[in-house]
Amino acid sequence: MNNDEKSNNINHEISKYHKALQIDPDNIEALIKLGQTYETKGDTEKEPSFYVLAQESYEKAIAKKPSDFKIHNLIITLSVKQGRSNELLKQYEKKLHENPNDQTIAKSVKILTAISLASIPPRTSYIKPKGEYSKIVLDYILPYAGIGCAVLGFTVPALRAVGMLGIFILALYIMYKLLFILKSAKNKYKRGN
């Protein structure tokens, strides 16, 4: 299927869900499908305005069925694509403060917190200082690669060598962190004197 066919198919789907909502404005499934279709169109055409339309559809669905975690999860996924998961976390924390017994909101806050803690900080400029890319590799990619290799190697007996590689990568990461701590302490000591 070429891009024009995909675009026409997506536009047909959008039209179909709009017609369904004209017939029944409370049709939650049509709102969800419309949001997902807008999200797909945003992915395909690299156009953020479709993400906004997807968000609006999801929010209308949540207004009609606030305890449906599936819809909250769609909003969370969309916020990650948009790079606004921290903003959404603040909104959900406020909702949780207003409704502390709402388990759906509490679960969403936990997921958004985990995403926030695990995400790489957004780029603030297109020109990175010297060593910035190596820092990303060393701080974010190396430990996960080591853990992944170790888990894979020790759960699949045929891949025992991969597990040993994972242990080696994790040992390198620990040495890197120790050297970084020592260097930081040394610099702090020099500034103090």
Q: pLDDT tens digit string along 137-182?
A: 677 777 778 888 888 787 888 888 888 888 888 888 888 888 878 8
Residues 6+ apart with CB under 8 A from 124: none
pLDDT of residue 33: 93
Q: Are 150 and 166 in contact (CB under 8 A)?
A: yes
pTM greater than the 0.75 cutoff: no
CA–CA distance, 37 with 47 (Å, rounded to integer): 13
How many angstroms separate the CA atoms of 83 and 122, rounded?
Answer: 8
